[in-house]
Amino acid sequence: MATAEPQTRWLVLVIKLPAEPSRHRVAVWRELRKVGALSLGQGVWAVPDVPTFADGARRAVELTDAAGGRAVTLRAAGRSVEDAARFEAMFTAARSADWAEFLADCGKFEQEIAKEIRQAKFTPAELEEEEQSLERLRRWHQDLSTRDVFGAPETAEAAARLAHCTEICEDYAERVFTALPHSAEDGT
């Protein structure tokens, strides 16, 4: 068994909240999920000890304190290289699940654009809706990329799918523009 000092450090948050009202538990849970924390068990969460996660961990502790709960934040590392690798793999698996959900939403976006093209629904209102959906995908991709500190296997595929979604939205925008009535006076 290797005994070299593991490189990755972790913040482990141990959180105890009153049972009622449940909104406090939900608020802390949502904050930790939003930041990408890994749930290790009831009230125990972990994130890599890197700046990306510091604000989210701080907010979770503040929410806990405001709710009359108790939070303890610990710095930790795997005891062995193997332990550190297992912990990193658990965190990366959670990011892989996030990327899988993102990729599924990219597929839904692609299907929606294809449906609008099939139905020849080339309206500015529909384009605006699709552009908002694309912007949501972009923000989500940025959030996931920020949290994916170890590089999940789906990262490259997700970037390519987002680029494809952008391309098909641009194509749809061109179709909408072409379908609009244009007057000779306005030069369009």
**Over its length of 188 residues, how does the chain's per-residue pLDDT go in tens digits?**
444 555 789 999 999 999 898 999 999 999 999 999 999 999 999 999 999 999 999 999 999 999 999 999 999 998 899 999 999 999 999 999 999 999 999 999 999 999 999 999 999 999 999 999 999 999 999 999 999 999 999 999 999 999 999 999 999 999 999 998 874 455 55
Query: Which residue in the block uniquely carries the two structure tokens 């700046």?
Result: 51
Q: What is the pLDDT of residues 139-175, one digit of tens each?
A: 999 999 999 999 999 999 999 999 999 999 999 999 9
DSSP at 37: P
Which of 95, 90, 173, 108 lies closest to 141 in space, CA to CA? 95
State the Cα–Cα distance between residues 67 and 24, nearest whole angstrom: 6
pLDDT at position 187 is 55
Question: For residue 14, what is the DSSP state?
Answer: E
Beta bridge partners of 44: 14, 41
DSSP state of 36: T
Provide CB contacts within 8 A for 7, sequence distance 6+. 84
Tens digit of each residue's pLDDT (9 = 90 or more) over 37-52: 999 999 999 999 999 9
Q: Which helix (H) or strand (E) holds 48?
A: strand 44-48
Q: By C-alpha distance, which of 148, 145, 116 is closest to 133?
A: 116
> Nearest 5 degrees, angle CA 10-CA 84-CA 26?
45
